[in-house]
């Protein structure tokens, strides 16, 4: 328990205060000061309304001019679904002929490999590069560098890496994991070209997957026929013959099935409505930006003038 000790008390409590003091204004005074500042700023902006109007119109004009220079683009969209794979009863041979099937390049697993592979190839840079080369798209992708009359490059020819980057920047691929549907969007200046390239990518992935499976089936048949000639056991020969039959069926399906990896749910058609740019929104944004810059200029200028007057 503390007690008062007269010896430790300050010698003089009646004199004037000494030391440092911090005056804290009440909260209502601060709020009133902020309100006064906002009122002053509002009055200043009303006073300079002509300058603000000029800045707003200037911002709108500049943004509108930029928007008019921007080329109109169109978005083509195609929706496809993976084509179902036929397993051909190969699952029952997994234990018995797993080694031979693997050497022959035959997948006797759980299936679904074509779906995963097709989507991976469709998203790959190599596929885009081959698509550009096959369809000779460089003059279209870089029309600003291409001289159509002389059929030569007016500027430095673009590299394939830059072309792939530009192409993939215009394309989006989205897979619905629940339904398995794949949506392909492509944005370009021409609606006809946008639709043509969107459908062309699906046609090309179908052709590529088909050709790959046909070559795989041919290689597998060559190997299995050699193994069949060297096999001694009856059961082994029957199993190999069954694998040969499956590969013949796979090759036949690949040769006759047009939509091999994907089939169209909704084929892309040339869009009639533009995807951008939205020139009215760009113009409005320019007007807002012009007004804000004008307001900042007015406020900063007034404070600079006051500071200069106070220093004199």
Residue 119 to residues 123, 133, 174, 187, Cα–Cα distance (Å): 6, 20, 10, 20
b (16+ CB within 10 A) / e for 185-212: bbbbebbebbbbbbbbbbebbbebbbeb
Average pLDDT, the chain: 81
- Predicted structure pTM score: 0.67
Q: What is the pLDDT of residues 240-287, one digit of tens each?
A: 888 888 888 878 877 878 888 999 999 999 999 888 788 889 899 999
Contact (Cβ atoms closer than 8 angstroms) between residue 262 and residue 206? yes
pLDDT of 128: 97
Domains in the chain: boundaries: 43-70+278-298, 74-97+106-213+258-266
Q: Ramachandran region of residue 265, left (φ > 0), alpha (ψ -120 to 50) or beta?
A: alpha
Q: Ramachandran region of residue 273, left (φ > 0), alpha (ψ -120 to 50) or beta?
A: beta
Lowest mean pLDDT across 6-15, 128-137, 138-147, 257-266: 6-15
Q: Is the pLDDT of residue 98 over 50?
A: no
**What sign does the dihedral 110-112-114-119 (CA atoms) show?**
negative
Residue from 261, 182, 203, 248 nearest 221 by CA:
248
Secondary structure E strands in the chain:
74-82, 146-147, 152-153, 171-175, 182-188, 262-266
User: What CATH number is given for 74-97+106-213+258-266 in this structure?
Assistant: 3.30.1890.10
Lowest mean pLDDT across 87-101, 133-147, 218-232: 87-101
Residue from 77, 72, 70 nearest 194 by CA:
77
Q: What is the pLDDT of residues 215-242, one digit of tens each?
A: 888 888 888 888 787 877 778 888 888 8
């Amino acid at each position: 328990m503390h007690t008062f000790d007269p010896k430790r008390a300050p010698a003089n409590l009646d004199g004037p205060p000494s030391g440092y003091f911090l005056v804290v204004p009440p909260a209502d005074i601060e709020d009133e000061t902020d309100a006064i500042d906002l009122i002053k700023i509002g009055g200043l902006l009303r006073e300079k309304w002509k300058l603000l109007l000029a800045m707003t119109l200037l911002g709108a004009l500049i943004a509108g001019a930029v928007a008019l220079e921007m080329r109109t683009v169109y978005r083509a969209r195609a929706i496809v679904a993976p084509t179902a794979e036929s397993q051909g009863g190969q699952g029952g041979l997994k234990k018995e002929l797993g080694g031979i099937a693997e050497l022959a390049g035959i997948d006797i697993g759980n299936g679904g490999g074509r779906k995963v592979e097709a989507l991976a190839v469709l998203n790959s840079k190599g596929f885009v590069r081959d698509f550009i080369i096959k369809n000779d798209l460089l003059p279209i992708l870089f029309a600003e560098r291409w001289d159509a009359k002389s059929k030569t490059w007016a500027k430095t020819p673009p590299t394939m890496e830059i072309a792939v980057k530009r192409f993939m920047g215009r394309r989006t691929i989205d897979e619905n994991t629940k339904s398995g549907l794949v949506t392909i969007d492509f944005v370009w200046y021409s609606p006809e070209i946008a639709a043509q390239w969107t459908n062309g990518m699906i046609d090309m992935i179908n052709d590529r997957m088909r050709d790959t499976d046909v070559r795989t089936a041919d290689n597998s048949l060559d190997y299995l026929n050699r193994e069949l000639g060297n096999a001694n056991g009856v059961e082994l020969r029957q199993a190999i013959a069954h694998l040969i039959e499956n590969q013949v069926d796979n090759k036949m399906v690949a040769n006759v099935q047009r939509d091999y990896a994907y089939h169209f749910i909704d084929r892309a058609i040339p869009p009639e409505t533009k995807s951008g740019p939205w020139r009215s929104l760009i113009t409005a944004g320019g007007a807002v930006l012009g007004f804000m810059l004008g307001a900042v200029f007015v406020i900063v200028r007034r404070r600079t003038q006051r500071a200069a007057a106070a220093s004199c």
